[in-house]
Amino acid sequence: MNKAIYLNRKKLLGLFILVLIASALYMLVEVNFANEKLFNYAMKIRTPKLIVMLISAFAIGGASIVFQSIINNTIVTPCLLGMNSLYSLIHTAVVFFVGSGSVLAVNANLSFVVDLLLMGVIATLIYSYLFKKTNHNVLYVLLIGTVLTSFFTSIQTTLTRVMDPNEYDTLLTSLVASFNNINSEIIVFSLVLLAALIFWLRKDLALLDVITLGKHQAINLGVDYDRCIRRLLLGVTLCIAIATAMVGPISFLGLIIANLSRQLLKTYRHSQLILGSTFFGMIVLVGGQMIVEHVFTYSVPISVFITVSGGLYFLYLLLKSRRA
């Protein structure tokens, strides 16, 4: 048993080294070392972007693993159920109702707080209802989640068009972050928030290993199941909100990295799974963004690659899980 833990530590260390290499490459490839001004400029552009990618990799990777364990299924992730579109919708709706000139919309951190509060309440309501109503039938949850994604997106686009029928494209870009348009104003706040979340949920996170055994076993072993699930679900929604606020919606990232982590580590230990999925996320995002910037010279956004590969991977997982 200890051998397995030791082996996994080694694997995680390997991943971590890859993260470092990817980050270093991202910062230094095609940078002008000779000219100090150009060098400083490149650093100034690249540093916040790198930090944002690392944070979102953690938020998405952690949230996906936790969510999968909560509902005891590895092909469902919060983003597939439309949580990130819901966040975009909430953000747009807030700007829609308070007006794009008001303090709430102009101050990035303030509007982020309002979005988070709304997201916490609304997402918990919607998704608890969804699970309850479908009796945790995973296929229905997935299908309804996919429909919800398009539902939220449609409303969001409609609101944007209503706000400004002529310039809605520009408005949309300013409302929804993306990899070419990251939201770096909220870095500090997000870091504090994530730290607070981990502290607040530390006991519940420790219970995840037991929750993996299923509801009945968890209760049998003395877990206050419903309360624990509620808190973790709230944590998941907030993590997704943070990631979406910074880099915009990327639906399939969580699915890919969470399952890669599970396949590599083959363990139930969530501390290791979360770390693994975070590292995979960092490698995919940072490495992918580097390729996008230097090979495709920004023409194709990274989310396109993630969508295509993630969609194929999802089909593979779905068919594999249903073959039996």
Give the nearest distance from C-beta 129 to other proteins in angstroms.
10
Residue whose CB is less far from other proteins, 27 or 138: 138
Q: Which of 288, 246, 234 is nearest to 56 (CA)?
A: 246
How many Å apart are CA 89 and CA 32, to the nearest integer?
A: 40
Strand partners, 181: 178
For residue 154, state whether it binds other proteins (rule: CB under 8 A).
yes
- For 24, 25, 219, 301, the CA distances from 289, given in Å and listed in that order, are 13, 11, 44, 8
Residue whose CB is less far from other proteins, 100 or 212: 212
Q: Which of 244, 209, 245 is nearest to 228 (CA)?
A: 209
Give the nearest distance from C-beta 187 to other proteins in angstroms.
28
Binders of other proteins in range 15-34 (CB under 8 A): none
For residue 170, state whether it binds other proteins (rule: CB under 8 A).
no
For residue 248, state whether it binds other proteins (rule: CB under 8 A).
no
For residue 165, state whether it binds other proteins (rule: CB under 8 A).
yes
Binding letters toward other proteins, positions 103-142, x by CB under 8 A: ------------------------------xxxxxxxx-x
How many Å apart are CA 245 and CA 182, to the nearest integer?
A: 9
Spatial CB neighbours of 33, under 8 Å, sequence gap ≥ 6: 39
Give the nearest distance from C-beta 45 to other proteins in angstroms.
21
How many Å apart are CA 42 and CA 130, to the nearest integer?
A: 46
Strand partners, 289: none
- For 133, 172, 248, the CA distances from 169, given in Å and listed in that order, are 37, 5, 15
Decide: 283 and 98 in contact? Cβ < 8 Å: no
Residue whose CB is less far from other proteins, 196 or 318: 318
Strand partners, 178: 181
For residue 100, state whether it binds other proteins (rule: CB under 8 A).
no
Indicate which single residue of 47, 150, 170, 173 sits in contact with other proteins (rule: CB under 8 A): 150
Judged by the rule CB under 8 A, the positions of this chain that interact with other proteins are 1, 4, 69, 72-74, 133-140, 142-144, 146-148, 150-151, 153-155, 157-158, 161-162, 165, 206, 209-210, 212-217, 219-224, 262, 266-268, 296, 299-301, 304-305, 307-308, 311-312, 314-315, 318-319, 322
